[in-house]
């Protein structure tokens, strides 16, 4: 069966972020991807210079109307990421609502991009829109620790806190929640970061909880969160009742892409020099084989199934 994704994210001419990070890997894994570009920039904003245009809410509506009048507005998945405008986000919500009415089995994968390490990098007025309108529609949610704390109003200091926060997020709507990164200490030491996931088990009041220790890489990459959400969409589609395998494959793809990128960036920069943003652009095309069939580099630990 053909599987079609509507991805509403940013676009860059050069490099990999937003739709550029999500589209190729999804296509490689057999998905049809329709993309709406929320912005069109020359490159991501981590460079010294960038130029471009931002799509307005009414322009988004016009594009959607075009899809609708041609009666090609049937989707199996919706994927959204970074947005910094409340009216744009509310229009996205309206579109998702309508698409879910058209196809009740549609799955909405939402990366609620708001900030990291205790600081918001979108306007604060987006938080209530995410809380009250976006998250209740989401089926799969991929916040980092800070975003999960913002959405639930609860701090994560222990693994128990993280489990409680994931359960609170389930109560808000999403059946699957993955905390893509946390500040929790890894039992393997400070070279690893801890990610956790939780998936509600159909027809029960319980959920499968998993924990992963992911090897850290000492560099700042852009577009990795967008790749993570896209890969989680793909691998949960292929393993719908097995969050453990879906997360292991997602994290393994990330690992291979990042490893290839840092190796290339260091070679290009030369000994003792820090790679530039251009050199650190994800090596996406070169990672095609890893995206299709990732060698597993992490094993997720299953935490006790817990009642929500």
Catalytic annotation, residues: 226
Long-range contacts of 116-121 (CB under 8 A, 24+ apart): 116/144, 116/146, 116/147, 117/146, 118/146, 119/146, 120/150
> Under 8 Å CB-to-CB from 118, ≥6 apart: which residues?
146
Instruction: Read off φ and ψ for residue 130, nearest 5 degrees.
Output: -60, -50
Residue 99 CB partners (closer than 8 Å, separation 6+):
6, 73, 75, 78, 106
CA distance 112 to 306: 24
**Phi, psi torsion values for 6, nearest 5 degrees:** -100, 115
Let me know the angle formed at the C-alpha of 151 by 26 and 240, rounded to the nearest 5 degrees: 35
Token couple for 44: 């991501």
Structure tokens, 254: 């990330």
Q: How many CB atoms lie within 10 A of CB 204?
A: 10
Phi, psi of 110, deg, nearest 5:
-120, 125
Alpha carbons 193 and 36: distance in angstroms, whole number: 33
């Amino acid at each position: 069966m053909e599987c079609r994704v509507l991805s509403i994210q940013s676009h860059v001419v050069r490099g990999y972020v937003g739709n550029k990070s999500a589209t190729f890997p999804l296509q490689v894994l057999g998905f049809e991807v329709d993309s709406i570009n929320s912005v069109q920039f020359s490159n991501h904003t981590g460079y010294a210079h960038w130029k471009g245009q931002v799509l307005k809410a009414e322009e988004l509506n016009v594009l959607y109307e075009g899809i609708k009048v041609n009666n090609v507005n049937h989707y199996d998945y919706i994927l959204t990421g970074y947005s910094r405008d409340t009216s744009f986000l509310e229009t996205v919500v309206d579109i998702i609502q309508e698409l879910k009415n058209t196809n009740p089995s549609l799955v909405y994968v939402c990366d609620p991009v708001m900030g990291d390490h205790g600081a918001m990098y979108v306007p604060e007025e987006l938080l209530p829109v995410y809380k009250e309108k976006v998250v209740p529609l989401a089926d799969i949610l991929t916040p980092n620790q800070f975003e999960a704390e913002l959405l639930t109003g609860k701090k994560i200091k222990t693994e128990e806190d993280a489990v409680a926060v994931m359960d609170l997020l389930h109560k808000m709507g999403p059946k699957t929640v993955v905390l893509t990164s946390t500040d929790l200490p890894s039992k393997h030491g400070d070279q690893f970061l801890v990610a956790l996931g939780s998936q509600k088990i159909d027809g029960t009041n319980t959920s499968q909880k998993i924990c992963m220790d992911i090897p850290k890489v000492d560099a700042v990459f852009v577009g990795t969160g967008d790749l993570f959400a896209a890969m989680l969409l793909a691998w949960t589609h292929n393993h719908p009742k097995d969050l453990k395998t879906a997360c292991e494959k997602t994290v393994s793809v990330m690992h291979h892409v990042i490893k290839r990128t840092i190796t290339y960036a260091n070679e290009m920069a030369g000994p003792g020099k820090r790679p530039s943003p251009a050199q650190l652009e994800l090596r996406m095309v070169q990672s095609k084989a890893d995206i299709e069939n990732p060698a597993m580099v992490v094993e997720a630990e299953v935490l006790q199934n817990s009642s929500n």
